[in-house]
Amino acid sequence: MFEEKEVQEIAENCRQLIKNAIILWNYLYLVRMLQSDDRAVAQYTLITLTKE
């Protein structure tokens, strides 16, 4: 019984780690787009973000 709960906790922690990694990647990607030398890319990124 204890082993089953431990396995469930490990699975939940892995799921949360994957979610956090995706959030971090998205944040870094958006920062790179906003800092882009290409003004059109930066403007498109801002417009897209403000629509949601």
- The answer to whether residues 45 and 33 touch, using CB atoms and an 8 Å cutoff, is yes
Residue 1 has a pLDDT of: 65
Between CA 10 and CA 20, with CA 14 as vertex, the angle to 5 degrees is 145
* φ, ψ at 9 (rounded to 5°): -65, -40
**Domain that residue 42 falls in:** 2-51
Residue 43 has a pLDDT of: 84
Q: How many domains does the chain have?
A: 1
pTM listed for this prediction: 0.69
Taking only the tens place, the pLDDT of each residue in 2-52 is 789 999 999 999 999 999 999 999 999 888 888 878 888 888 887 887 886
